[in-house]
Homo-oligomer: A and B are copies of this chain.
Amino acid sequence: MFEIKERDGLARIGEFETEHGTVETPAIMPVVNPNKMTVSPRRMKETFGAQILITNSYVIYQTEELRKKALEEGLHSLLDFDFPIMTDSGTFQAHVYGDVDVDHQEIIGFQKRMDSDVSTILDEFTEPDDEREVAEEKVRKTMERARYAVEEYEDEKGHIALPVQGSVFPELRERAGKEMKRFEGVYPIGGVVPLLENYRFSDLVNIILSSKKGLGAKGPVHLFGAGHPMVYPLAVLLGVDLFDSSSYIKYARRGDLMYPDGTKKLREIEHFGCHCPTCMEHEPAELREMEEGERTELMAEHNLWVCFNEIEKVKQAVKEESVWEMAERRCRSHPHLLSGIKEVYDHWRYLERFEPRSRHGAVLYTGRGTLKRPLIRRFKEWVMEEYEPLFEAPTILFDAEEVNKPYNRSLRDELSRLEEAGANILFSTPLGPVPLELDETYPVPQSVFLDERKGKERKKELERYKEMKDLSEMVRYDDLDTLDEFSGNAGMCLDDMRVKTIADYQFGKGAGELFVQGKTEYVKNRKGRIKNVMLDGKHVLSLRHYDGLFTLKMAGAMILKEELEPPRMRVTVTEDSAEFNSQGKNVFCKFVIDADENIRPGDEVLVVDEYDNLVAAGRAFLNSQEMSDLKRGIAVRIREGRDDWSKKD
């Protein structure tokens, strides 16, 4: 029912299948009030491109005429909308008015009977200031109702929405998520409206992430009640798939226009700065003088345009793998959003599991936060903690600010002398200390930074590096008088150093030396850059131009499989799947038995059968958790199948 088609970290473009059609996520579900449709469902679809709507089953249930019609003709006929429709259950009404006049069995049954595509259980709305015990009790009740709904309707058509509650308690949210994950459904994150209303974005981030930790890769995940476009990029960054919005109409009624970076009052606007049809066809003053009903409708349409447009932008960002940039920029719209993204960085260890080692585009620095992105921190941490300088000689230091990238080409002459002498070369960069061997590897040459580090910070980083690597000496190149002291250290050429270091970074400790032990030869391009690594005459690795990381060839995969203990780099598949994969066909989630938890999306992997026989080499699209949580879609894109694999090896 839910499948990830494209991704950027936790952000994803997904396909959510329903009885009335497939929804491409992230998607907005505009709220339609069955009693008063300011913008008709048909118009929502045809003009604004809405793929799915949401309406309130409790309102229908309470209005005799609507209820009758809904039960007789079905929800889709009632709303005159032949596309997916989700229904809410009255939970929010209970939150606002204290109680609702229906029990949970009745309302879920009603939704089912009128043929809702996504029926929501009557969950218990946890308030941000609920005591822990109260919140726990509400989660327990919600769980009970979820179980009832799932068991009662498991054989029927249509999805059930199973909200994750838990107030602002991260462990409770995570636990609630973990419990809901056992059922198939749609997973709203509930109880967040009061946080959104009070701009408590740091709490919001915490809640989304703890719910996601519980839910794993399951989806679609719905941020219930989030209707303002200013939160979309942040929420999508964290893996939210669905938004609903009645804000478009609520804001319009009180004279407010939504923009991606905030809200403006119509009465204060002289220039719209927007080219949606409302703003193109009317002047602000004209709108102000209009009769209220007409004005509200036009403003609601402006708000819808802005919402749908912003979702398009986020989707384009997922496609370009630039959601981090987009979210970081948008979060500058309000100090409280900024505190939201700061909260995100604090969760980097979790987020890192979903982060590729490289992206299509450059890393564009948007501020100091950029340095706290999981991809960057992982890189910095690896250099600081895992990287092994190859020589015991002093390390020569260059200041990256004074050298064009890639460093090795700007410093060709200097480096050839140093290489001969066998020195370690280090660059002090905004990404921290970077050894020469990684100067063509993502994100080093692909990052555009503004170096805002203070002198003290740089010094501290370098001192830490010196300590971590147990270096006897670190000399600035400019302070270097002679190369004499290095004599006798040489032994490994820069090419070897580079291959060893990149392979260690990419495939893990010990992988690098496997490729430089034998007779290594390099095929280079015209600029002298390594293209292919040949070991004992076999093509084992190709160095990708765009990110300076390796593509694994079958011969290389064989070596890694032989030398690295399971489960390293492995994705274990069923025998049936192996048959296909050995012929070069992709690995699908449902055939994955197990996978190395250190695999990151985009990583080169070894596809093996249950007996650890190599089946194919490929590139992971998902990490191990995702491979296990998802029922559909590609897990590994196979590059090379092993045609001599056979069922019984």
Q: Which residues in A have some Cβ–Cβ distance to B below 8 Å?
A: 261, 264, 268-277, 280, 305, 309-310, 312-313, 315-316, 319-320, 328-329, 332-336, 338-339, 342, 364-368, 448-450
Kindly list the 6 A-B residue pairs having the minimum CB-CB distance in the complex, ordered from nearest.
A273-B313, A271-B312, A273-B312, A271-B316, A335-B365, A335-B450
| A333 and B338 contact, CB distance less than 8 A | no
Q: Do A305 and B364 have beta carbons less than 8 Å apart? A: no
A271-B316, A273-B309, A329-B333 known; 18 new pairs, CB 8 Å cut-off, are A261-B329, A268-B320, A269-B316, A270-B315, A271-B312, A273-B315, A273-B316, A275-B305, A328-B332, A334-B364, A334-B448, A335-B364, A335-B365, A335-B366, A335-B449, A336-B448, A339-B450, A368-B368
Closest beta carbon of chain B to A457's beta carbon, Å: 12
With a 10 A CB-CB cut-off, give which of A313, A332, A334, A336 has the most chain B CB atoms: A332
Contact of A313 among B271, B277, B319, B342 (CB under 8 A): B271
Is the pair A315, B448 in contact by a Cβ cutoff of 8 Å?
no
15 contacts between A and B (CB under 8 A): A268-B320, A272-B312, A274-B309, A275-B277, A275-B305, A275-B309, A328-B332, A332-B332, A332-B366, A334-B364, A334-B448, A335-B364, A335-B448, A338-B365, A367-B367
| Residues of chain B within 8 A of A275, CB atoms compared | 275-277, 305, 309
Q: Which of A276, A448, A450 has the most CB of B within 10 A?
A: A450
Residues of chain B within 8 A (CB-CB) of A274 are 309, 312
Q: In whole angstroms, what is the CA distance A236 to B336 when docked?
A: 27
CA distance A312 to B279 in the complex (A): 12
A276: chain B residues within 8 A (beta carbon): 275
What residues on B are CB-neighbors of A309 within 8 Å? 273-275
How far is it, in angstroms, between the C-alpha of A320 and the C-alpha of B366 when the chains are bound? Answer: 25
Are A367 and B320 within 8 A (Cβ)? no
The residue on B at minimum CB distance from A337 is: B450
By a CB distance below 8 angstroms, the chain B residues around A332 are 328-329, 332, 366-367
Given the complex, which residues of B lie within 8 Å of A310, measured CB to CB? 273
User: Given B271, B364, B368, which contacts A315 in the complex, CB threshold below 8 Å?
Assistant: B271
Which B residues lie within 8 Å of A277 (CB)? 275, 280
User: Known contacts A261-B329, A367-B367: does B335 contact A271 (CB below 8 Å)?
Assistant: no
Residues of B within 8 A of A269 (CB): 316
| Complex alpha-carbon distance, A602 and B335, angstroms | 27
- How far, in Å, is A250 (CB) from chain B's closest CB? 22
The minimal Cβ–Cβ distance linking A202 to chain B, given in whole angstroms, is: 10
Name the residue of chain B whose CB is nearest to the CB of A326: B261
Contacts of A334 in B (CB 8 A): 364, 448
> Which residue of chain B has the shortest Cβ distance to A366 in the bound complex?
B332
Q: Chain B residues near A342 (CB, 8 Å)?
A: 450
Bound-state Cα–Cα, A274 to B276, Å: 9
Q: Please, which residues of chain B bring their CB within 8 A of the CB of A264?
A: 316
Closest residue on chain B to residue A448 by CB atoms: B335
Q: Do the beta carbons of A450 and B338 come within 8 Å of each other? A: yes
Residues of B within 8 A of A449 (CB): 335
- Write the nearest CB–CB distance from A236 to chain B, whole angstroms: 13
A339 to B366, CA, bound (A): 11
The smallest beta-carbon distance between A405 and chain B, in angstroms, is 14
The interface centre, meaning the residue of A276, A329, A368 with most chain B CB atoms within 10 A of its CB, is: A329
User: Which residues does chain B contribute within 8 Å of A280, judged by CB atoms?
Assistant: 277
**Contact present for B316 and A270 (CB under 8 Å):** yes
Residues of B within 8 A of A448 (CB): 334-336
Most buried by B among A273, A277, A339: A273
Which residues of B have CB within 8 Å of A272? 312, 316
| Nearest CB in chain B to that of A272: its residue | B312
> Chain B residues near A338 (CB, 8 Å)?
365-367, 450
CA distance A367 to B329 in the complex (A): 11
- CB contacts (< 8 Å) of A339 on chain B: these are 450
Q: Is the CB of A319 within 8 A of B366?
A: no
CB distance from A353 to the nearest CB of B (A): 27
Query: Shortest beta-carbon distance, A383 to chain B, in Å?
Result: 21
CB distance from A432 to the nearest CB of B (A): 17
A276 to B280, CA, bound (A): 9
Residues of the B chain whose Cβ atoms lie less than 8 Å from the Cβ of A364: 334-335
* C-alpha spacing A329/B260, complex, angstroms: 12
A449 to B339, CA, bound (A): 10
Q: Considering the chains assembled together, what is the distance between the CA atoms of A312 and B334 in angstroms?
A: 21
Measured between C-beta atoms, what is the minimum distance from A346 to chain B in Å? 14
Q: Could you say which residues of chain B place their CB within 8 Å of the CB of A329?
A: 261, 329, 332-333
* Complexed CA–CA distance, A277 and B277 (Å): 9
- Interface centre among A277, A315, A367, by most chain B C-beta atoms within 10 angstroms, is A367
Q: Does the CB pair B319–A270 fall under 8 Å?
A: yes
CA distance A320 to B269 in the complex (A): 9
